[in-house]
Amino acid sequence: MVYTPPAPTQGSNANSYEFHLDVASVPVSPATEPTWLSGPDITGLQPNAAPKTADGTTYANRGQDDTPTVGETFTVAFDAKPVKNTAGSIQPFISLLIAAAQATLKGGDPTKKVILARVYHETIPELSWQFTAEVSFQRKNTGNADVEFLSFTLTSKGDREIVDNPAITTP
């Protein structure tokens, strides 16, 4: 019998630019809802969930590993292009990220160290998460005539959860 491969799935492709990132300061009482700032000037958005495992091996496993998943390490990496307005200020979402990354430096604001973030896909409802994160960044382009980009990494504080997709859910 000759193998016949299945035909490609019919329909339209999802696109990488349909992923979105919003960030917010953690609300301080009495506020309960965050004020989300969209990040439109990003590229290379890469959510990455890696399982956190523990050694559960006993003699009963007879030499085989038993490494149950006990959590995850979740990061989101992306590049952002700072764009200055007529007053010389960059976008509020980038300012928030930089303030969080520099919160523990002398002159920084330690209350801004942890931020809220949500990542979602505009056409795939199942791809929507929210979490608190710490931020780090570095320059991406260093050439003499390069457009400035900053490479950010958001590292979850261990509370990532699936949420209603804000691109699809109607309030």
- Total number of domains constituting the chain: 1
| pLDDT for res 129 | 98
Q: What is the mean pLDDT of residues 8-14?
A: 92
In a domain, 65, yes or no: no
pLDDT band at 28 (very low <50, low <70, confident <90, very high): confident
The range of the structural domain enclosing residue 85 comes to: 21-50+72-162
Q: Mean of the per-residue pLDDT values for the chain?
A: 94
pLDDT, tens digit, for every residue of 122-143?
A: 999 999 999 999 999 999 999 9
| Ramachandran angles phi, psi of 123, nearest 5° | -125, -5
**pLDDT for residue 30:** 81
Answer yes or no: is 129 within a domain.
yes
pLDDT exceeds cutoff 90 at 70 = yes
Long-range contact set of residues 132-140: C-beta below 8 Å, sequence gap at least 24? 132/26, 132/156, 132/157, 132/159, 133/76, 133/157, 134/100, 135/97, 135/100, 135/101, 136/101, 137/97, 137/98, 137/101, 140/79
pLDDT higher than threshold 90 for residue 54: yes
- Mean pLDDT computed over 66-88: 96
Q: What band does 171 get if pLDDT is binned at 50, 70 and 90?
A: low
Q: Is residue 143 part of a domain?
A: yes
- Is 9 inside any structural domain? no
- pLDDT at residue 1 greater than cutoff 90: no
Structure tokens belonging to residue 160: 């990532």
Does the pLDDT of residue 167 top 80, yes or no?
yes
